[in-house]
Amino acid sequence: MDIKGVKLSIVKMPLKNPFTTHLGSVTEREAIIVEVEDRNGFIGYGEGVAFSSPWYTEETVQTSYHVLKNFLIPLLRKKGISHPEEASLLFSSVRRNHMAKAALETALWDLRAKIEGIPLSNLIGGTMESIPAGVVVGNNLPEALKQIEGYLEQGFKRVKVKISPEDDLHYISEIRKQFPDLPLMADANSAYSLEDVDRLKALDDFGLLMIEQPLGYDDIIDHAKLQSQIKTPICLDESIVTFEDVRKAIDLGSCKVINIKIGRVGGLGEAKRIHDYCVSKGIPVWAGGMIEFGISRAHNIALASLPGFTIPGDISGSDRYWEKDIIQPEITVYDGMIKMPEGPGIGFKLNTKRMKEVTVFEEIFEF
Ligand SMILES: O=C(O)CCC(=O)C1=CC=C[C@@H](O)[C@@H]1C(=O)O
Ligand SMILES: [Mg+2]
Q: What are 103-120's pLDDT values in tens digits?
A: 999 999 999 999 999 999
- From residue 293, alpha-carbon distances to 30, 73, 127, 239, 256 in Å are 10, 22, 24, 24, 29
Q: How many whole angstroms from 288 Cα to the centroid of ligand 1? A: 7
Closest residue (by CA) to atom 8 of ligand 1?
A: 290
Q: Evaluate whether ipTM surpasses 0.95.
A: yes
- Residue 139 confidence (pLDDT) above 80: no
**3-117+349-366 and 123-339 share one fold:** no
Q: Establish whether residue 50 lines the binding site of ligand 1, counting it when its CB lies within 6 angstroms of any ligand atom.
A: no
Per the prediction, the chain carries an average pLDDT of 97
The CB density around residue 39, as the number of other CB atoms within 10 Å, is 11
pLDDT band at residue 20 using 50, 70 and 90 as cut-offs: confident
Q: Which sequence positions are flagged as catalytic?
A: 162, 261
Q: Establish whether residue 189 lines the binding site of ligand 1, counting it when its CB lies within 6 angstroms of any ligand atom.
A: yes
Domain boundaries, the chain: 3-117+349-366, 123-339
Q: How many whole angstroms from 16 Cα to the centroid of ligand 2? A: 20
pLDDT band at residue 32 using 50, 70 and 90 as cut-offs: very high
- pTM to 2 decimal places: 0.96
Q: How many whole angstroms from 212 Cα to the centroid of ligand 2? A: 6
- Residue 158 confidence (pLDDT) above 90: yes
Q: Indicate the CATH number of 3-117+349-366 among 3.30.390.10, 3.40.640.10, 3.40.50.720, 3.40.50.1820.
A: 3.30.390.10
Mean pLDDT of 336-342: 96
* Ligand that comes closest to the CA of residue 55: 1
Q: Which of 290, 303, 320, 321 to mutate to test the pocket of ligand 1 (most atoms within 8 A of CB)?
A: 290
Q: Indicate the CATH number of 123-339 among 3.90.550.10, 3.40.50.2300, 3.40.47.10, 3.20.20.120.
A: 3.20.20.120
Q: What are 278-330's pLDDT values in tens digits?
A: 999 999 999 999 999 999 999 999 999 999 999 999 999 999 999 999 999 99
Q: Establish whether residue 159 lines the binding site of ligand 1, counting it when its CB lies within 6 angstroms of any ligand atom.
A: no
